[in-house]
């Protein structure tokens, strides 16, 4: 403000004026932006501390058993996180197994194969998908996907695999409701595809076209170019994108709560209902008292830790790419 006044208040002066920097303004500005940056760290530390403090009674009561026990019994105040941890990791893993190839396919198609007029609308559509609120995915999952999945996949599949070794356990559902770990994984896959696809697309586009042209020049096919030139070039940043998707899949709450079946049991079948850490917290937090509340906060603490580790790995990988 004052700088502007300095300029305009001297009508007769030459336009080239060496302005003296305002020391106070600079200091205030530096401190304010430093404060804004610090606020994030303080908040993060605050969240960590309050989670650890809130969850401490549960960790102290059950020790390592809190992580390894499968019992979640509010009547007898016995809490174990294992089914929720397994549910969280397996839904996220299913989401990656389905979502990553799909995302890479989208990215490769958009950058290498698609006609120019087609690229823009598809890229925009994918970015729009990323902005759809998660509850919409959850409701779509429950109201549209679940009945179809139960009728056309789960029931026939259960009939086929019943009694078979291994697959008869993993793919058999005692009550084929359409809800379960696998359904949650599929919905999560839809949710992380836009993230991974758009980041990967950006990364592939940044690869200098001379590389690609050289590869084509020595007679490589499109597949060979993608497989041996593009993917190795963008590989690490693709992993970073996948990690960001994984971070979202691990923490997703509403959509998962809709379709995961919310059963506090460990099941050998991926088609059976289960729960994730986030869905367990969403379900029980309102009515939780005493040790149950501590156990839920401790669950949150575990999720926080897992997500934090995933994001740190993603950061490190992306940072490595930037050095080149």
Partner 1 sequence: MRKILVLAAVAAGIAGSAQAADITGAGATFPFPIYSKWAEAYKKETGTGLNYQSIGSGGGIRQIKAKTVAFGATDAPLKGGDLTKDGLVQFPTVMGGVVPAVNIAGIAPGKLKLSGEIIAQIYLGDIKKWNDPKIVALNAGVTLPDANINPVYRSDGSGTTFVFTDYLSKVSAEWKSKIGANQSVQWPVGIGGKGNEGVSASVKQVANSIGYVEYAYAKQNKLSHALVKNADGNFPAPEEKAFQAAAANANWQEQPGFGISLNNQKGADAWPITSATFILVHAKPENPAEVQEALKFFDWAYKSGDKLASELDYVALPANVKDQVRAAWKGVTDNSGKPIF
CB of 271: closest distance to partner 1 in angstroms? 12
Q: Is residue 297 at the binding interface for partner 1, with CB under 8 A as the rule?
A: no
Residues 245-274 that bind partner 1 (CB under 8 A): 257, 261-265, 273
- How far apart are CB 319 and partner 1 at their closest, in Å? 40
CB of 46 to partner 1, least distance (A): 22
Q: Which is nearer to partner 1, 90 or 283 (CB)?
A: 283
x/- track of binding to partner 1 for residues 106-145 (CB under 8 A): ------------------------------------xx--
Give the one residue of 83, 178, 247, 300 binding partner 1; rule: CB under 8 A: 178
Residues of this chain, 221-250, that bind partner 1 according to CB under 8 A: none
> What phi and psi values does residue 139 have, to the nearest 5 degrees?
-70, -40
User: Which residues on adjacent β-strands are paired with residue 78?
Assistant: 73
Residue 208 main-chain phi, psi, to 5 deg: -55, 135
CA distance 313 to 277: 21
65 or 122: whose CB is closer to partner 1?
65
Does 151 bind partner 1 (CB under 8 A)? Our answer is yes
Shortest Å, Cβ 87 to partner 1: 12
Q: Which is nearer to partner 1, 150 or 204 (CB)?
A: 150
Binding span for partner 1 by CB under 8 A among 106-114, 164-172, 236-244, 280-288? 280-288
**Alpha-carbon gap, residue 239 to 117, rounded angstroms:** 29
Q: Contact between 91 and partner 1 (CB under 8 A)?
A: no
Under the binding rule (CB under 8 A), the answer on residue 291 touching partner 1 is no
Buried b (16+ CB within 10 A) or exposed e, 64-88: eebeebeebebeeeebbbbbbbbbb
Residue 262 CB, shortest distance to partner 1, in Å, is 3
Cβ atoms of 287 and 217 within 8 Å: the answer is no
Length of the chain measured in residues: 324
| By CB under 8 A, residue 90 contacts partner 1 | no
Number of shown-chain residues binding partner 1 (CB under 8 A): 33
Residues making contact with partner 1 (CB under 8 A): 71-75, 142-143, 146-147, 150-151, 174-180, 257, 261-265, 273, 275, 282-284, 286-289
């Amino acid at each position: 403000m004052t700088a502007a006044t300095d300029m305009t208040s001297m009508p007769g002066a030459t336009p080239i004026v060496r302005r003296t920097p305002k020391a106070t303004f600079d200091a205030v500005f530096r401190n304010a932006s430093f404060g804004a940056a610090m606020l994030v760290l303080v908040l993060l530390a605050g969240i960590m501390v309050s989670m650890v403090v809130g969850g401490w009674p549960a960790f102290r009561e059950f020790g390592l058993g809190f992580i390894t026990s499968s019992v979640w019994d509010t009547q007898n105040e016995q809490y174990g996180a294992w089914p929720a941890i397994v549910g969280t990791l397996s839904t996220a893993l299913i989401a990656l197994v389905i979502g990553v190839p799909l995302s890479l396919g989208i990215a490769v198609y958009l950058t290498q194969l698609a006609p120019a007029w087609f690229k823009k609308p598809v890229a925009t559509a994918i970015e729009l998908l990323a902005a759809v609120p998660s509850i919409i995915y959850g409701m779509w999952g429950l109201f549209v996907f679940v009945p179809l999945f139960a009728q056309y996949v789960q029931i026939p599949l259960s009939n086929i695999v019943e009694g078979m070794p291994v697959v008869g356990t993993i793919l058999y559902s005692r009550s084929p409701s359409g809800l379960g770990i696998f359904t949650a994984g599929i919905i999560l896959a839809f949710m992380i595809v836009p993230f991974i696809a758009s980041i990967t697309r950006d990364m592939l586009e940044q690869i200098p076209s001379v590389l690609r042209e050289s590869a084509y020049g020595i007679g490589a096919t499109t597949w060979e170019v993608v497989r041996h030139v593009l993917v190795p070039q963008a590989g690490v940043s693709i992993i970073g994108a996948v990690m960001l998707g994984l971070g979202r899949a691990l923490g997703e709450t509403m959509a998962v709560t809709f379709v995961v079946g919310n059963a506090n049991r460990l099941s050998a079948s991926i088609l059976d209902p289960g729960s994730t850490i986030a869905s367990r917290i969403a379900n029980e937090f309102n009515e939780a008292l005493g040790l149950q509340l501590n156990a839920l906060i401790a669950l949150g603490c575990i999720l926080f830790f897992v997500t934090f580790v995933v994001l740190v790995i993603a950061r490190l990988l992306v940072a490595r790419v930037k050095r080149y």
